[in-house]
Chains A and B, each alone.
Chain A
């Protein structure tokens, strides 16, 4: 059976060129970058070279690249670290209701510590309104954290416009979770106008277990992990050197190939989206029609549930993802889809197909060939389909 991977938003395969770049750092240059002997010095040089590449690719200072274990740690460090450092200046944080849980749960943790958090709503396409950010800013706002693009529905946020408002009207720092965008669309610290930015290597064909928090010069924050002087006293622990080397290589490759890969993947995505919207009744596209990640297609198939859809696709060799409760690990479906105004039943029936640089036209055609049979089979056994419930037909915005 042909196996088709359409879950690149979850993770990507490590590029063989990245693996090759990493290999010497397991066995040959295995030294601890903090050691002063030759092994250590060689490792230190590799670490700093990789850091310089990462900084260069994102328009940052090498000193502003803090290596972490991945995107979640970078988000935690940005939010909790800034909150701890600036708590005497103010205790108000602004975020959006569609953030990754690494951001949302860090904010919820801070609420328990006495911080006040504003969770901004989004429109039906999943976009934050710049005016909402403006209206939420207060004298005591110390941090605004809005993701660059959403991991579920792919909507790209107007980060530059939000940054302009934040900078013009407050002293707050601005953080963006760019885990989904680095390597997929151009990401540059100055062009986005952010002070802090999180990224994760395994989303752009790098290894798992490594990421970074990028900070602008002068940004104050407290470290979360104590016990060593690594990363200029900001993140203790021996650096994951093979991982950092792999992350730098992956970022270099992704940005170099972006001008070719982005339009190609976008074309495949648009073909997939148009074919599904034209080929099915009672289906909707979730997320912004144009301001979305090149590889993201997210649909709601009314009257069927997402996990059943995923299991059936998996039986046919197709790997995808859903925002149904059964796949979110809770009783509620995706907080992103609910924030966009979908009703529960429609949110349960969501399907995310995320394309990557290895995705072929043939694979997209196979998915388009397989989907109708599965949807038909599940709808035939759905009690919602024969007694079509009016509230679900019109639930594009029920709030």
Chain B
């Protein structure tokens, strides 16, 4: 049911872990629906210097988390903000239809982490 790319990211997730002194953290989902994604950012000169994730969820949740970190590492914050959940799913050669809604939230977690960074640096 999953593409080879999803299974690759599921089996060998990139950038798993946390950044203790992260510049921004974003979390989406909840335990009720069975998916929680948290993304940690290290930002340097408006670029994502480092990014890590922790995810509780199904194969699609883990694969999309891994993929989004790979897609935006080294990118500017504006470029990262332009990444959508749909783009993440496409980069994984698609997700089963039933997963598109519930487990495809990784870009939302990323955007929240960027927003958290911007809020911290607004003042």
Contact at B13–A305, with CB atoms within 8 Å? no
Q: On chain B, which size bracket covers the interface?
A: 20 to 34
Residues of chain B with a CB closer than 8 A to A311's CB: 2, 7, 10, 59
> What is the bound-complex CA distance between A177 and B10, given in angstroms?
38
B27 at the interface (CB under 8 A from A): yes
Residues of chain A with a CB closer than 8 A to B61's CB: 305
A333 at the interface (CB under 8 A from B): yes
Contact at A329–B31, with CB atoms within 8 Å? no
> What is the bound-complex CA distance between A331 and B102, given in angstroms?
8
A382–chain B nearest beta-carbon distance, Å? 4
Contact at B13–A325, with CB atoms within 8 Å? no
> What is the bound-complex CA distance between A344 and B99, given in angstroms?
18
B73 at the interface (CB under 8 A from A): no
Closest B residue to A381 by beta carbon equals: B16
Residues of chain B with a CB closer than 8 A to A392's CB: 31
Contact at A308–B98, with CB atoms within 8 Å? no
Residues of chain B with a CB closer than 8 A to A381's CB: 13, 16-17, 53-55, 62
Given contacts A381-B16, A383-B36, contact A308 B57 (CB under 8 A): yes
Given contacts A324-B34, A384-B36, contact A305 B10 (CB under 8 A): no
Select A384's contact among B33, B56, B62, beta carbons within 8 Å: B56
A277 at the interface (CB under 8 A from B): no
Contact at A383–B54, with CB atoms within 8 Å? yes
Given contacts A307-B59, A311-B59, A383-B36, contact A389 B31 (CB under 8 A): yes
A388–chain B nearest beta-carbon distance, Å? 12
Residues of chain A with a CB closer than 8 A to B13's CB: 381
Closest B residue to A343 by beta carbon equals: B31
> What is the bound-complex CA distance between A382 and B103, given in angstroms?
15
B91–chain A nearest beta-carbon distance, Å? 20
- Please report A residues at the B interface, Cβ cutoff 8 Å: 303-305, 307-308, 311, 315, 324-326, 329, 331, 333, 343-345, 348, 380-384, 386, 389, 392
Given contacts A333-B34, A344-B31, A384-B56, 12 further A-B contacts (CB under 8 A): A304-B56, A305-B56, A324-B34, A329-B98, A331-B33, A331-B102, A343-B31, A344-B33, A348-B34, A381-B17, A381-B54, A383-B36
